[in-house]
Chain A
Amino acid sequence: MLAFFIRRVGQSLFVIITMATLVFFGVNVVGDPVAMLVAPDADQAEIERVIRDFGLDKPIIQQFGLFLKGLTRGDFGNSFIFGEPAIELILDRLPATLELAIGALLLSIVIGLPLGLVAGLFPDHWGSKTIMALSIFGFSLPTFWVGILLIMTFSVSLGWLPSTGRGDTVSVLGLETSLFTLDGLTHLALPALNLALLKISLVIRLTRASVRETMQQDYIKFARAKGLSEFRIVRVHVLKLVLIPIVTVLGLEFGNLIAFSVVTESIFAWPGMGKLLIEAVLQLDRPIIVAYLMLIVVVFVTINLIVDLTYTALDPRVRLGGEKA
C-alpha cells in the first residue's frame, strides 16, 4: 500500500513538472511577453527597463530555472493589473470557485444517480428512454446560453433568485464560505445548477451504462437464483459496483467543474478564479494566467491521487493489486 502510494505521488510530481514546462514555454515562448508587459506607447528606455526587471534578457533556460524556483515558493510574480502577487489573488478567489464546483457536484449526483439507476434497470421502459433523450439534451445545451436563460427566467421574469454575485459569507473552520447562509445558498443556486447541467447528463449516462453492464453479470444471475429480492440485488450487489466508476469519474470531473466554472462565473459574475482568469486572458495579465494554470494542475493531480485512493478503498480487487505492486 505504501509503495503504491509513493509511486502515485512520484507520478503526480512528474505530471506537475511536465505541465509547468509546457505552461512556461507556452506562455513565454509562443507569446511575446514584452508586448504584454509594456504600454503600446512606451519608449525604448521603458521597454528595456521592463525587459531587465522581468529578467527577459537572460537566456531562456535561465528564465525557466527562475520560474521553477519561483514555483516551489508559489511565486508567480505580481499581477500586471492589480500589482499584487498573482497567487494570492487566485487563492483569494479559490473558495468561491470551490463552493460553486462542490454545489454543482452535489446537484449532479443527487439528480443524476437516481435517474441513471432507473434508466439502467428498466432500459426498455419509455420513462428510461425519455431520461436518456433528456441526458443527451443536457449534453447538447450550451452552458453559457442556459446561464442566460436561467437569469432571464428566475431572476428577471420571476424574480425568485439573485442573478449575480456571491451571497453573505460566514467563517467556517477558518474559511469564508457562503454555503451556510441562506443568502449564500440562494446566490449559489443558479450558477451551481448551470454548472451542473452537463455533469447531470454525464452521471445519468455513466450510471445507466454501469448498471446495465453489472446487471448482465453472472453474479447478478446467481444473486437472483438465490432468491434475493430485486431491491436487495440493486441496493447491495449493483450499487456498490456502480459506485466505483462513478466515484472515479466524478472525482476527475471535479477538476473539470473547476475549469468549466470559467464560463459560469463570467455569466453570473461569480467572484471566483475563473472570472479572474477570463479577465486576465482578455487583459493579457500573464502572471495570473500562469498561476491559475499551475494551481489547476496541482488541483487536478491531487484529485487524481485522492480518487485513486478512494477507488482502492471501494474495490477490494484493486486493494490486493496495489499491495502486490
Chain B
Amino acid sequence: MSNHVLAINDLRTVFETHAGPIKAVDGVSLTVERGQVLGLVGESGSGKSVTGYSILGLVDAPGKVADGNILFKGEDLRNATPQRLRRIRGKEIAMIFQDPMMTLNPVLRIDTQMIEAVQAHTTSVSRTEALERAEEALAEVGIPSPKERLYSYPHELSGGMRQRVAIATAFINKPDLIIADEPTTALDVTIQSQILSVAQKMCETHGTAMIWITHDLGVVAGLADKIAVMYCGRLVEMGTADQIITDPRHPYTHGLLKSVPGTHKEGERLYQIPGMTPSILALGEECAYSARCSKRSAKCAHAPKREVVFDRYLRCHNPMGTTHD
C-alpha cells in the first residue's frame, strides 16, 4: 500500500462556454504523501484553483471534471456518490479559501458555523461538546479569548482573525488532507506570515497533508515539501521544494523564480516574463509556454509528453541545463 493520501491521475476539468470549451485543467497528475505539504503554483487562470475544487467535486457549472482519476486513500472520488463525497468533505478533506471576508457567512455567528462542521459528520456529538471542540480549535490557531469570539459575527473580526477561524474550522474534524486555496493572498503581508506559520504548525501537530495553492513561489518556498508548477491548465514541472527553488528546469519555473522580489540583486530591475498568458481557448497541441519561451525550438509545436527527467516531473523539450542558465 502506497503512502499517498492523494493521487491525481490525468485530471481534466472543462468549462463549456459560449465561445467553446475551456480546458481549465488539462491532464494534471500529482501525488501527495501523508503529512506532506504540496505547493501548487501558477498565475491566475493557470487552473491551480480549479484543480483544488475538482478534488472535492466543487467545480461550479458550467465546469465539470471530464476525465482522469482522483484517488483519495485508494478510493476514486470521481466515482463517489454525492452522499459519499459529502461525508468526505470537511471530515477527511477540508478546504480553506482565499478571501476570509467571503468564506464566513455574514449573517451567522461563528459558533453556528463551526458547530455545524462538527455535527454534519457526527450527529451524536452534543452541542456542548461541539462548542468545546470549536473553542479548542480556535485557541489552537491562536485566537485570543476564543470563548467570546465564538459568539461574534464574522464582520466583527479582522481579516486575519477570520482566516484563523476558517483554518480552525477546516482542522476541526482532523482531516487527512487540507486544500488551501491562496489563503493568504487577500491579507496584509504581516498577517500573511502569521497565517502561514499557523497553518504549518497545525499540519505538523496533526500530521495533516496539505495542498497550498498560490501564485507566489516565495510563499511556498519555505512551507512546502514539494512544489508543482502549473501553466495554462497543464502541469509543467514538479519536484521537491529544494529542486524547484534551487534548480528549476522548466523555463517557466525559471522565469517565475527570477520574478520573485527579493531574489534579485539590489538596484537591479525585477525580472518580467515577456509576453502574455495565451488564451486557453486558442491553445492547441503546442507547448503553452512556447510563445514566451527563450528556449523555444521547432519541437515545441507539439507539447512534450509528461516525463520524468532529472529525477523530477518535467514537460519541456529544452529544459534549463544548469542552475544559472
Contacts and interface: CB of A to CB of B under 8 A. Distances in A.
A224 B120 contact: no
A316 B105 contact: no
18 contacts: A124-B61, A218-B99, A218-B103, A219-B105, A226-B90, A226-B94, A226-B116, A226-B169, A227-B86, A227-B87, A228-B117, A237-B105, A237-B108, A241-B105, A241-B106, A244-B107, A316-B153, A317-B155
B156 interface: yes
A226 B88 CA distance: 9
A221 B67 CA distance: 23
B188 interface: no
Given A316-B153, A317-B155, A320-B156, A226 B108 contact: no
Given A222-B166, A226-B94, A316 B107 contact: yes
Contact of B103 (A219, A232, A315, A317): A219
A228 B88 CA distance: 10
Given A236-B108, A240-B108, A222 B89 contact: no
Interface in A118-143: 124
Contacts of B88: 227
The residue among A226, A236, A241, A315 with the most chain B CB atoms within 10 A of its own CB is A226
Contacts of B120: 226-229, 232
B104 interface: yes
A227 B104 CA distance: 15
B301 interface: no
Interface in A194-245: 216-219, 221-229, 232, 236-237, 240-241, 244
A320 B120 CA distance: 30
The residue among A224, A241, A320 with the most chain B CB atoms within 10 A of its own CB is A224
A299 B105 CA distance: 34
Contacts of A316: 106-107, 153, 155
The residue among A216, A224, A227, A315 with the most chain B CB atoms within 10 A of its own CB is A227
Contacts of B104: 219, 222
A219 B102 contact: yes
A16 interface: no
Contacts of A314: 107
A228 B90 contact: yes
B105 A226 contact: no
B155 A320 contact: yes
A227 B90 contact: yes
Interface of A: 124, 216-219, 221-229, 232, 236-237, 240-241, 244, 314-317, 320
Given A225-B56, A225-B94, A225-B95, A315 B107 contact: yes
Interface residues of B, number: 33
Nearest 9 A-B pairs (CB), nearest first? A227-B90, A218-B102, A225-B95, A226-B90, A227-B89, A222-B103, A226-B117, A316-B153, A219-B105
Given A226-B90, A316-B106, A320-B156, 5 more contacts: A218-B98, A222-B166, A227-B121, A241-B106, A317-B107
Contacts of B107: 240-241, 244, 314-317
Interface string B159-181: 00000001001000000000000
A226 B170 CA distance: 7
A225 B58 contact: yes
B97 interface: yes
B199 to A, nearest CB: 16
A224 B60 contact: no
The residue among B88, B116, B117, B155 with the most chain A CB atoms within 10 A of its own CB is B116
Interface in B76-124: 86-91, 94-95, 97-99, 102-108, 112-113, 116-117, 120-121
Contacts of B112: 236
Contacts of A237: 105, 108
Contacts of B153: 316-317
B106 A222 contact: no
Contacts of B94: 225-226
Nearest to B89: A227
Given A232-B116, A236-B112, A225 B99 contact: no
Nearest to B156: A320
B184 to A, nearest CB: 15
Contact of B117 (A221, A227, A241): A227
A284 to B, nearest CB: 51
B105 A221 contact: no
The residue among A216, A217, A221 with the most chain B CB atoms within 10 A of its own CB is A221
B49 to A, nearest CB: 11
A25 B113 CA distance: 56
